[in-house]
Structure 1
């Protein structure tokens, strides 16, 4: 039998309605009349939304709309390809698309970390400092030390030579091997022929190719290289800003909980938890779904004791996600919807233990099932909190949609054609238009303005939330 569920407190609804929505977007006019000087991104957003509404009426977008789309996309490509003020990420994509050495370098780079780990493990199996200590001083121990040092320095060609030198030593059969490990001579032979070592050596060789050098410079203009000291410092700074923003959002919800608890008609206590992690026991696929919620407002269940130990269980009232920007929230939104659908799969007769920074909290499955999972019914359950200022002229084309448009093969082909003939015909981009109208993989782009409006409707500035409370 289901436990009774309290209706939302009126003060909570009033507060949520009172919070200013400074990130809100207007609904577009039904008449399509973009300014002649509108940016390519704005024009594309307007055209795509017009195409979506036309399809929703059961009609087919006309040729004029298609021409506006291809013309705006061609302008976007031209702007992105400019040497001064262009988009280095897109230029790197185009270079990779047209140059085989760059494509090979990018492909090898994608698995380089895994390859490095594999080679380090293979080297440690025969040349770990602990294994070196088992040998007496001499050429063999010195060769093993060189091999280990080459792995540490990522000197893959020198490592290859060091393995060959070891294999040529007559004392190889005397090297000690641990139980269950292959004989050192065999392990070294396997290391010499390891595909990961071949890939790492090829990666080093390609790094000096002129086009690869240009490719890497383009990425460096975008940001520090992955794994570099600058990238680590940047990541640390971002995490610190994120932690501070989450703390502010938690402070606002704590103030809201205090007001709800102090209300004369308060019928059950409220509390706030952070970093609420969804337990694996909920019977649904967790992959690609949000499984950790930043800040959550809870209300104690109406039942006196819902858990086996007599401890009161809790119900979710409000889920808050903290994001640094509108683009970050828009990118996160599909994952958030999958996270809500995951919670909706909870067994209504089960009380689930959720881990939080405040300890384990029992949440009722019946209340989780009642959470809305349809994107149109989230306004009373979900908030995105942001501390970024609202833009004077908000971008109507989301970052994810822009990237999908630019990374489409016909778009990259058009960009390559531009490098050879500046008068390349925008009609080459018509396959992107057809994909937008017909391909399931483009549905998110077709719906992008409607989604962006909804995400911005759910977004509040942390200061505004605290002030409303």
Structure 2
């Protein structure tokens, strides 16, 4: 609960702002969507099971069969070679083919291995080092070594190392020989050579082709460009959200005789706040601060409201657990302590009591935080979240059923029942079992930036005072 009731203008804005991303209760939501869609059936079935468990009733066999049938249909759709899901098909191939599993495992560390090899090569073969200290008999080989590393030609790099070791003069420089041997025998080079060798494997080629279908390969020029564009878009959404919050702060500041308001952006949580910082949100996009008027020399602020900017509803859904952990972290602050936060605007001193008052309670959360987005609302809302869909498809039983379908189109989906039992009993499936309430919660906290701006204007024009609510 907040230290004091919200300023009336902020309270009215939050009460009246359009919630275009809001999801209805699942009973009415299912009537708005295609009930033959297996993802929709899964969402409604999972939610029915959650409610039954909440009422102390065990979900029956009919519900389990509906779940199994819908999951089987979703898997069959996903493995369709023309209209299916390339990411899932790649996961099935990784499940089936040892060469693909090895390639995927090595590739997961490839960037780290590349950096290690570049660093090791630069230590002995950087062009500046060649000019400064390399002996004449070393220079040609070391230049080739540097070129091979620069072009990521690991076979050439290995061959060049062997050629250097075969030079007659190598016996005259034991330290140099040791460096070359160490690089030649390094686990990183061994792994990169193995990645190159596996790249010609038939299953690996198909695996790579599936990944290309879902987007450019990591590290490619296109992927880097897309990543930069995504960062720019995210920054633009953050800037727009901050502008709207700043407009609210100016209006509050103009009419409130007792308090003054400001907005800071990219406010980073100091390590001095106790609690677990890992996996919690530790940088907030935009924060509305308030304090009593006076004490201008060394102002100490209260956190009044927090805003997170997201480019899509799915991004907010994924972010919600981190946001809730972030609020819990802030609430660990000592109430009598003043904390120094770093933000784009400089150092901001914040009363611990205003942080301590933050809560993740559903009844108060909407008065503490908003997700702001500039994306249009879905015409047909997806009732099964992307993360839940991924966990269902990634389960071993799902991958095994998909593999069986490749051999026998009418394979028995009965083995998918183990996922149903896991869903109802295992902690790692808790998020999937509760996925629809989580979707609804994040959508309740999400508003379009234009809608927030309009609500602020409407509340201001209606003459809503900034005094606290009764």
Q: Which residue of 1 aligns with 2:387?
A: 400
- Aligned partners of 1:462 and 1:260: how far apart in 2? 19
| Aligned-CA RMSD value | 2.1
Q: Distance in 2 between matches of 1:26 and 1:118?
A: 51
Contact 1:173 1:184 in 2 (8 A): no
In the TM superposition, 1:382-397 aligns within 5 A as 382-397=369-384
Post-superposition CA distance 1:382-401 (Å, at most 9, x none): 10111111112100000000
Structure 2 Cα separation of the partners of residues 230 and 167 of structure 1: 39
**Within the alignment, does 1:223 sit opposite 2:215 as a pair?**
yes
Distance 1:146 1:42 in 2: 58
1:149-205 CA-to-partner distances (Å, cap 9, x unmatched) read 111111111111111111121212445xxxxxx811111111111111111000000
What's the CA shift string for 1:214-257, capped at 9, x where partnerless? Answer: 11111111111111111111111111211211111111111211
SS of alignment partner, residue 133 of structure 1: helix
Q: Among 82, 85, 108, which residue is 2:83 paired with?
A: 85
Higher relative contact order (CA 8 A, sep 6+): 2
TM-score w.r.t. length of structure 1: 0.93
| Residue 317 (structure 2) pairs with residue 330 (structure 1) | yes
The 5-angstrom pairing of residues 29-44 of structure 1 reads 29=27, 37-44=35-42
Asked whether the equivalents of residues 384 and 459 of structure 1 are also in contact (C-alpha less than 8 Å), the reply is yes
Distance in 2 of aligned mates of 1:234 and 1:79: 28
- CA deviation vs aligned residue, 1:307-337 (integer Å, no higher than 9, x gap): xx95121111111111111111111000000
Q: 1:378 aligns with which of 365, 375, 380?
A: 365
* Structure 1 range deviating more: 284-293 or 137-146: 137-146
2:230 is equivalent to residue 238 of structure 1? yes
- The aligned counterpart of 1:208 is 200
| Residues paired across the two proteins, number | 455
Equivalent position to 1:276, from 258, 267, 272: 267
Query: 1:269 is paired with a residue of what secondary structure?
Result: strand
Q: Provide the rounded CA distance (Å) in 2 between the counterparts of 1:348 and 1:303.
A: 21
Structure 2 distance, partners of 1:345, 1:52, is 31
Corresponding position of 2:327:
340
User: Are 1:398 and 1:452, in contact at CA under 8 Å, matched by a contact in 2?
Assistant: yes
Say yes or no: does 1:187 pair with 2:179.
yes
TM-score (normalizing by structure 2): 0.93
Q: Which residue number in structure 1 is paired with residue 428 of structure 2?
A: 441
Q: What is the aligned counterpart of 1:52 among 44, 50, 60? A: 50
The corresponding residue for 1:357 is: 344
Is the 8 Å Cα contact of residues 260 and 266 (structure 1) preserved in structure 2? no
Secondary structure at 1:45 match in 2: helix
Kindly report which structure 2 residues correspond to 1:292-307, keeping only aligned pairs within 5 A, or say none.
292-300=283-291, 302=292, 305=295
Q: 1:281 to 1:363 in 2, by over 3 A?
A: same
2: CA distance between counterparts of 1:144 and 1:186? Answer: 14
- Unaligned segments of structure 1, at least 5 residues: 176-181
Indicate the larger mover: 154-163 or 196-205. 154-163
**DSSP 3-state at the match of 2:26:** coil
Q: Partners in 1 of 2:288 and 2:163 — Cα distance? A: 65
Residue aligning to 2:279: 288
1:56 and 1:216, CA in 2 relative to 1: closer, same or farther beyond 3 A? same
Q: 1:141 aligns with which of 139, 142, 146?
A: 139
Q: 1:211: Cα distance to partner?
A: 1.1
SS of 1:243's partner is helix
Provide the C-alpha distance between the structure 1 equivalents of 2:132 and 2:24, rounded to a whole number of angstroms. Answer: 74
